Amino acid sequence: MGKPAVVGIADLTVDVAGAAVRAGGRTVPEGTRIAIDGTGGEVVVGSPRIVTTAAGPHLHRLLGWADEVSGGTPDRPEAERLAAAQAVLGHR
């Protein structure tokens, strides 16, 4: 379906009175920031480290095609270039 999802959690206990959840031997108080990897199921307490990499040759090729379709130029942000091509092709 193209959407990551968490569909089951083993051994999770919700403590409504204590405003916390317990799982895997940890207690996480209400309001704590967590991140869940919907693909691998990893749970990170706090803000996860986000890694970005330089655009590879396949992305550059795709962006070149997007510019050809939309009549755009490569001086725009990548997301804008792809959105412009989608708009031209009617895939919105």
Q: Which residue has the higher pLDDT, 11 or 4?
A: 11
- Number of Cβ within 10 Å of residue 85's Cβ equals 20
The residue written with tokens 């083993």 in the block is 10
Q: Which residue has the higher pLDDT, 43 or 19?
A: 19
> What mean pLDDT do residues 15-34 have?
92
Confidence of residue 91 (pLDDT cuts 50, 70, 90): low
Kindly state the DSSP code that residue 15 receives in the 8-state scheme. Answer: E
Q: Which residue has the higher pLDDT, 54 or 76?
A: 76
pLDDT on residue 67: 92
Put simply, whether the predicted model's pTM sits higher than 0.75 gets the answer no
Q: Is 35 helix (H, G, I), strand (E, B) or coil?
A: strand
pLDDT on residue 1: 64
- E strand or H helix at 4: none
